[in-house]
Amino acid sequence: MKFAIQWLRSAVFTMQMYLMMLLMGILFAPWAAVSRKGARMACKSYARWVLWTATWMVGIRSEVRGEVPQGEVIVAAKHQSFLDILIIFNALPSARFIMKRELMWTPVIGVYAKRLGCVPVNRGKRGAAITKMVRDVAAENREPGQLVIYPQGTRVAPGAQKPYKIGTAVLYEGLNQPCVPVATNVGVFWPRTGIYRKPGLAVVEFLEPIQPGVERADFMTRLEHEVERRSDALMAAAGFEGPHELSQQH
């Protein structure tokens, strides 16, 4: 019975979350059309709405740990579900994301992603696309901010293994900026697929920056070690016992 009630609450939460995405997208559209500030305010407002409703509708509280970067940096984050996107975007002052090209054509998300300066990447040609993006950033004098990339290229369920892609190192070398690793445990409470949401404390933690100049192989080793080690610790503290735990929630 308890599981059924929580599942029902999760379903209602999910429905209102997508409905509010549409309503806010329409409400902020005139401002967003003429101002990147308007687009950013729309996305911040939406992120805060979802984080707030998650606390009382499904019992998921969120917390940001570590020093949140303020200047021009690369943010290389563990990606487990839509929740970590919302927490990271809400925490950073001026974030834009590297994202799948297909998402740029979706209603609301695609429109606002373009206005924020998010960078579409062709997953089939990821290395070449990121190399081109580095050249574009250097040439276009983009608005300063934090460039968020997911080194594993997709959402990864807690306990699952997926390699770290070289694209993050290409960015790191090409932009010559610090890279801030980010760990999380959000997938324990908000899975990458499915409706069920588990109550608890979802954490996103900004780790010690990796300063420019580290050799590529060493950079990739350090990035993966720090993100995985800290994410494992956060998940263990949240009571995660293994992949079977999430399978029981579907």
pLDDT digits (tens, 9 = 90+) for 51-65: 999 999 999 999 999
- Residue 190's CATH number: 3.40.1130.10
Say if 210 falls within a structural domain: yes
Decide if 13 contacts 58 (C-beta within 8 A). Answer: yes
Phi, psi of 137 (to 5 degrees): -60, -45
Query: Could you list the residue range(s) of the whole structural domain that residue 85 is in?
Result: 60-247
pLDDT digits (tens, 9 = 90+) for 178-201: 999 999 999 999 999 999 999 999
Say if 177 falls within a structural domain: yes
Say if 139 falls within a structural domain: yes
Output the pLDDT for position 156: 95
pTM over 0.95: no
Say if 49 falls within a structural domain: no
Domain count across the chain:
1
211 burial type by CB count under 10 A (0-12 exposed, 13-18 middle, 19+ buried):
exposed
Say if 151 falls within a structural domain: yes
Say if 40 falls within a structural domain: no
Say if 166 falls within a structural domain: yes
Say if 43 falls within a structural domain: no
Phi, psi of 213 (to 5 degrees): 105, -5
